[in-house]
């Protein structure tokens, strides 16, 4: 299914390495599930998680957010509704443009291997078929312009983030996303800690077409409400989904 970004208010982030809680049908109330993590994630545990989610809540769209292209395969691509490609504004060069160009160079070079086409054709027809396959694949990719604001988090060290942005820099990155880089999602990530509404307010002022995600430390209705009131289009809830389903349910807007 195509993801209707305008209808996404509550996002659940599921780490394939962590155990899924019982009562997965609670995910029918979330608007999008993002599957991804860093340490210990593999294609295999990603697929296992995707299958469990499909069984429990078949109507909820799934976005895979791979850390490495090794977690992406023909099978994951076919099973999910989108594959997120993050670009970290306040990270190092590798995590804003380096890995991304490598990924697209790889896609351009190996459309058959990536999507499993093995047509016995050569020359121009293969070239043209290759481009169709590339188009199918890239149409599933979802660019996310990230600002990682909790510099002690794993996400920060992985992406080469040494300094958090000021709210004015967050606003600049938001305006750049909306008018220059054109990612459909601008993502303010506090990863495990609650960052409050300031960055969200700064960014929301300049975002119209772009969907604004906030993630980090949301474990109550009050925090969920505060971030949405500050202008976020959607809140992303991760830790308490795995750790405390009762608190998780509280974060879902009614």
Q: Which residues bind a copy of itself (CB under 8 A)?
A: 85, 87, 89, 92-93, 96-97, 100-109, 127, 131, 134, 138-139, 141, 143, 168-169, 171-173, 175-176, 178-183, 205-206
Closer to a copy of itself by Cβ: residue 184 or 196: 184
List the beta bridge partners of residue 146. 88, 187
- Shortest separation between residue 108's beta carbon and a copy of itself, angstroms: 5
The smaller minimum CB distance to a copy of itself, of residues 87 and 237, is found at: 87
208: Cα within 13 Å, side-chain hemisphere: 1
In angstroms, the CA 201 to CA 226 distance is 11
d(CA 83, CA 140): 6
Measured from the CB atom, the residue of 78 and 131 that comes closer to a copy of itself is: 131
Q: Which of 3, 23, 27 is nearest to 13 (CA)?
A: 27
Q: How far is the CB of 148 from a copy of itself (least distance, A)?
A: 14
Structure tokens at 209: 């077409």
User: Measuring CA to CA, which residue among 24, 85, 92 is closest to residue 52?
Assistant: 24
Helix (H, G, I), strand (E, B) or coil at 189: strand
CB-based contacts of 247, cutoff 8 Å, min separation 6: 219, 220, 240
CB of 113 to a copy of itself, least distance (A): 14
**Cβ-based nearer residue to a copy of itself, 203 or 237:** 203
Smallest gap from Cβ 44 to a copy of itself, in A, equals: 27
Asked if 33 and 61 touch (Cβ cutoff 8 Å), the reply is yes
Q: 181-202 burial, b if ≥16 CB within 10 A, otherwise e?
A: eebebbbbbbbeeebbbebbbb
123-138 and 98-109 helices, crossing angle to 10°: 140
* For a copy of itself, the closer CB: 134 or 236: 134
| Shortest distance, position 212 Cβ to a copy of itself, whole Å | 15
Given the complex with a copy of itself, which of 199 and 219 has the nearer CB atom?
Answer: 199
Minimum gap (Å) between residue 133 Cβ and a copy of itself: 12
């Amino acid at each position: 299914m195509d993801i209707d970004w305008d209808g996404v208010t509550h996002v659940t982030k599921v780490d394939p390495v962590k155990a899924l809680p019982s009562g997965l049908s609670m995910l029918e109330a979330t608007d999008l599930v993002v599957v991804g993590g860093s340490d210990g994630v593999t294609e295999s545990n990603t697929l296992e998680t995707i299958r469990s989610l499909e069984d429990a809540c078949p109507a909820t769209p799934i976005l895979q957010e791979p850390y490495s292209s090794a977690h992406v395969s023909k099978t994951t691509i076919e099973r999910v509704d989108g594959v997120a490609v993050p670009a970290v504004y306040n990270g190092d060069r590798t995590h804003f443009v380096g890995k991304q160009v490598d990924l697209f160079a790889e896609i351009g070079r190996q459309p058959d291997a990536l999507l499993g086409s093995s047509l016995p054709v050569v020359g121009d027809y293969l070239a043209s078929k290759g481009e169709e396959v590339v188009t199918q694949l890239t149409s599933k990719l979802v660019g996310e312009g990230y600002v990682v604001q909790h510099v002690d988090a794993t996400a920060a060290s992985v992406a080469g983030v040494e300094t958090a942005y000021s709210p004015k820099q967050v606003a600049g990155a938001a305006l750049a996303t909306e008018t220059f880089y054109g990612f459909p999602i601008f993502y303010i990530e506090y990863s495990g800690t609650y960052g409050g509404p300031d960055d969200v307010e700064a960014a929301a002022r300049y975002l119209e077409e772009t969907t604004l995600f906030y993630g980090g430390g949301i474990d109550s209705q009050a925090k969920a409400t505060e971030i949405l009131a500050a202008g976020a289009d959607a809140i992303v809830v991760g830790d308490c989904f795995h750790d405390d389903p009762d608190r998780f349910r509280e974060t879902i807007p009614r």
